[in-house]
DNA sequence: AATCCGTGCAACCGCGACAAA
DNA sequence: TTTTGTCGCGGTTGCACGGAT
């Protein structure tokens, strides 16, 4: 059973957007707001498909876009987030105000990949390039009553021999892991922080002053780890990867 | 001046997720 | 429960541009 096309391709423009098309789209969205992309082109008098309109708005016309060069801080934040999330560009973009997933994806492919390679770091694994990279699949069962029981495959760098590999499989036949996040292990951490405000998880990731930073505005810190908001994920001390998928 | 080549980025395409019918 | 429609995401493509030859 085939999927019907999102629009009638024979009567739609493709390629670069003209100034007039931009103005029509902006004016329509200002008046009616975002949403219902399928019917928008017709309503706005545009010979474009809905997807094209959505993309143009989100990636180029939205008023809250920052544009301009990425800062060094943004670079490092993207690298950190990518090491945590992989190619989840929309999630990464959600942590960088005024940046779009497309922009970050392009920037990653054109700048950051090269930057990491020049540092001798594999941009995919975030590990040194010359490290042996045999892979092993670890599956994370998602709890008892998950609808689809999705397995998340994680490529684990191992460098294990066949024997070690078999042992590993025996010991971890089908992992059902709750990933718990705890404060980074630091010598004298408690001692040095007893007098001052503890740093939140965002700060420890290097995302100071972001909206995820809880240092200054509430009690969700390491002194009270029962509940904090990491990367927009409200948790009770347990990070559930599935929540990463939903914004 | 002409051509080639690499780079950056906007836009397109295909597919999965999800909700409504 | 199945089918259908819509949205959003990530990978890929193609064009414009600038520098090198």
Q: What is the pLDDT along chain A (247 residues), one digit of tens a residue?
A: 333 445 555 567 888 898 888 888 888 888 888 878 888 888 888 888 888 898 889 888 888 888 788 888 888 889 988 888 888 898 888 888 889 888 898 899 888 888 888 888 888 888 887 765 544 443 333 333 333 333 333 333 333 334 334 433 443 333 333 333 333 333 333 333 333 344 444 444 444 444 444 444 333 333 333 333 444 433 333 333 333 333 3
Dist CA A52 CA A37 (whole Å) = 9
For the range A220-228, what are the long-range contacts, defined as Cβ-Cβ under 8 Å and sequence gap of 24 or more? A221/A197, A222/A183, A222/A193, A222/A198, A223/A198, A225/A182, A225/A183, A228/A200, A228/A201
Which of helix, strand or coil describes residue A215?
A: coil
What per-residue confidence (pLDDT) applies to A83? Answer: 87
Distances (CA, A) of A11 to A45, A49, A236: 12, 9, 52
8 Å CB contact between A182 and A225: yes
Which nucleotide's C1' sits nearest to the alpha carbon of A60?
B10
The pLDDT assigned to A129 comes to 74
C13 C1' – A158 CA distance, angstroms?
Answer: 36
Report phi then psi at A121, rounded to 5: -115, 130
Contacts of A214 (CB under 8 A, 6+ apart): A200, A201, A202, A220, A221, A228, A229
Facing residues of A239 across strands?
A179
Find the Å distance, CA of residue A123 to C1' of nucleotide C15.
27
User: What integer pLDDT is reported at residue A132 of this predicted model?
Assistant: 59
Give the integer Cα–Cα distance in Å for A24 and A230.
Answer: 39
Roughly how many angstroms between the first and final C-alpha of chain A, as a whole number? 30
Q: Which residues contact A171 (CB under 8 A, 6 or more apart)?
A: none
Whole-structure pTM value:
0.62
Residue A51 CA to residue A179 CA, distance in Å, equals: 36
Report which residue is nearest nucleotide B8 when distances run from CA to C1': A110
Rounded Cα gap, residues A182 and A178, in angstroms: 12
Cβ atoms A187, A193 nearer than 8 A: no
Q: Is the CB of A13 under 7 A from strand B?
A: yes
In this complex, the residue with its CA at the shortest distance from the C1' of nucleotide C3 is: A1
pLDDT at A175: 35
Can you give the distance from the CA of residue A15 to the C1' of nucleotide B2 in angstroms?
28
Q: With contact defined as beta carbons under 8 Å apart, do A235 and A229 qualify?
A: yes
The C-alpha angle A73, A76, A78, rounded to 5 degrees, equals 105
Strands A233-235 and A228-230 come out as antiparallel
């Amino acid at each position: 059973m085939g999927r019907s096309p999102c629009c009638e391709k024979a009567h739609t423009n493709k390629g670069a957007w003209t100034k007039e098309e931009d103005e029509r789209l902006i004016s329509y969205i200002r008046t009616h707001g975002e949403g219902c992309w399928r019917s928008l082109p017709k309503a706005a008098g545009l010979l474009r498909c809905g997807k094209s309109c959505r993309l143009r708005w989100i990636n180029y016309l939205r008023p809250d876009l920052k544009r301009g060069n990425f800062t060094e801080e943004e670079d490092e934040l993207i690298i950190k987030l990518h090491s945590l999330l992989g190619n989840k560009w929309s999630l990464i973009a959600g942590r960088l105000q005024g940046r779009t997933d497309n922009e970050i994806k392009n920037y990653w492919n054109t700048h950051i990949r090269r930057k990491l390679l020049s540092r001798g770091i594999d941009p995919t694994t975030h590990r040194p390039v010359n490290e042996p990279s045999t892979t092993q699949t670890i599956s994370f069962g998602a709890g008892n009553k998950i609808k689809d029981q999705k397995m998340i495959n994680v490529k684990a760098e191992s460098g294990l021999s066949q024997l070690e590999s078999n042992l590993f499989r025996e010991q971890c036949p089908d992992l059902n892991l709750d990933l718990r996040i705890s404060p980074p292990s630091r010598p004298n951490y408690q001692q040095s922080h007893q007098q001052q405000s503890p740093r939140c998880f965002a700060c420890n990731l290097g995302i100071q002053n972001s909206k995820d930073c809880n240092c200054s505005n509430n009690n969700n810190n390491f002194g009270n780890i029962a509940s904090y908001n990491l990367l927009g994920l409200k948790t009770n001390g347990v990070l559930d990867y599935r929540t990463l998928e939903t914004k």
